[in-house]
């Protein structure tokens, strides 16, 4: 049987990556606390290298490759944030990177991936199997596969965000009641759950996903992994994996208290709220946990709640549309 990551593995990853990562802050707002009735902490992973938490897992994976594996290069598949994380980590280690990305990926993510020197191979999100393409490239070119979520080292690297967050809550002298984490394949969710439950065993972990792509939430209710009926159709491009990962689900199924499915309009409102209150730019997937709080899906009254704001790589058009909603509904 495959050994599952543990809290100790996440802690080891944090030590390994200490010199490579930005320790992202926890943001607070009196307006947000007053609106929800809780003590709200926002983990600002949009401030991490490459604009998302994905740099953590990619760096943890690539730094453990052998010299011969580094020489051979890596291949990954991603809608954008994992692509940039792998590309940046590969550039830092002088490793060749090839990334399989959807043709409709946000321009900001495509440009960012190219800027780090990676080669992009496009696929059609509706008709192509990106993993099949990536593994074929790996076989033909002897490259090492760097999966976006279903990988021991990736999960441990992403978990360093949760470890930082939990330790920052400890420093604030609060007791963490609830944690809201976005999920695509579940790597961040798994890593954060391991860290949060070690520091705060009684805390409740909730997954937040786009409406129609809430495979983790529905899997909980079915006691087995379910598959989304669609591959595209939400502005949350970073959160559209078809089903939970096999490895990540073994962890998440033991830690999750529940989940929320959030519509695109609420996500856009959350992007505009974050800009107005904090002066920040979030991508849709990065704002979805805040959306679940603002639309009252999650009741924070009297509770200490931590949210992961997972990324900020948003195209100007999407961001401006969100701000237009703010102007229309001040």
Q: What is the reported pLDDT for 330?
A: 55
Q: Let me know if 128 is exposed, middle or buried by CB neighbors in 10 A (0-12, 13-18, 19+).
A: middle
Query: In terms of pTM, does the model score above 0.85?
Result: yes
pLDDT 10s digits, 16-73: 999 999 999 999 999 999 999 999 999 999 999 999 999 999 999 999 999 999 999 9
Mean pLDDT of 163-170: 98
Residue 104 token pair: 């409709």
Q: What is the reported pLDDT for 165?
A: 98
Domains and CATH numbers, the chain: 7-53+152-328 (3.40.50.1100), 55-145 (3.40.50.1100)
How far does the chain reach from its first CA to its final CA, in angstroms? Answer: 55
CA distance 35 to 300: 10
pLDDT confidence band for 327 (50 / 70 / 90): low
pLDDT confidence band for 79 (50 / 70 / 90): confident
Q: What is the reported pLDDT for 213?
A: 97
CA distances from 75 to 82, 100, 107, 126, 227 (A): 11, 8, 20, 21, 25
CA distances from 95 to 55, 66, 114 (A): 15, 11, 14
Q: What is the reported pLDDT for 48?
A: 98
Q: What is the reported pLDDT for 2?
A: 81
Q: Which residues contact 102 (CB under 8 A, 6 or more apart)?
A: 79, 122, 123, 124, 125, 130
pLDDT 10s digits, 267-318: 999 999 999 999 999 999 999 999 999 999 999 999 999 999 999 999 999 9
CA 149 to chain CA centroid, Å, is: 9
């Amino acid at each position: 049987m495959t050994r599952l990551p543990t809290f100790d593995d996440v802690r080891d990853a944090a030590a390994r990556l200490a010199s490579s990562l930005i320790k992202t802050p926890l943001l607070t707002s009196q307006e947000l606390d007053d609106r929800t009735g809780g003590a709200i902490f926002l983990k600002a992973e949009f401030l991490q290298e490459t604009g998302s938490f994905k740099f953590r897992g990619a760096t943890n994976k690539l730094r453990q490759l052998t010299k011969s594996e580094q020489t051979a290069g890596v291949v990954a598949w991603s809608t954008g944030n994992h692509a940039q994380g792998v590309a940046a980590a590969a550039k830092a280690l002088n490793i060749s990177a090839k990334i399989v990305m959807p043709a409709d990926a946000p321009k900001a993510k495509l440009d960012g991936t190219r800027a780090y020197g990676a080669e992009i191979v496009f696929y059609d999100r509706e008709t192509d199997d990106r993993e099949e393409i990536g593994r074929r490239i790996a076989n033909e070119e002897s490259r090492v596969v760097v999966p976006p979520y279903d990988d021991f080292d990736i999960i441990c690297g992403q978990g360093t965000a949760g470890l930082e967050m939990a330790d920052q809550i400890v420093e604030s002298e609060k007791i963490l009641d609830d944690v809201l984490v976005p999920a695509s394949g579940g790597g961040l969710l798994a890593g954060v759950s391991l860290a949060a439950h070690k520091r705060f065993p009684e805390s409740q972990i909730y997954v937040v996903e786009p409406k129609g792509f809430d495979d983790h939430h529905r899997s909980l209710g079915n006691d087995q992994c379910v598959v989304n009926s669609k591959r595209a159709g939400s502005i949350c491009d970073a959160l559209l994996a078809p089903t939970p990962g096999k490895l990540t689900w073994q962890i998440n199924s033991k830690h999750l208290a529940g989940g929320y499915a959030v519509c695109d309009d609420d996500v856009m409102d959350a992007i505009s709220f974050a800009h107005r209150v904090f002066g920040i730019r979030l991508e849709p997937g990065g704002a979805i946990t805040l959306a679940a709080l603002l639309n009252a899906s999650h009741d924070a009254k009297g509770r200490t709640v931590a949210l992961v704001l997972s990324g900020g790589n948003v195209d100007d058009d999407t961001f401006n549309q969100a701000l237009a909603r703010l102007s229309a509904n001040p």
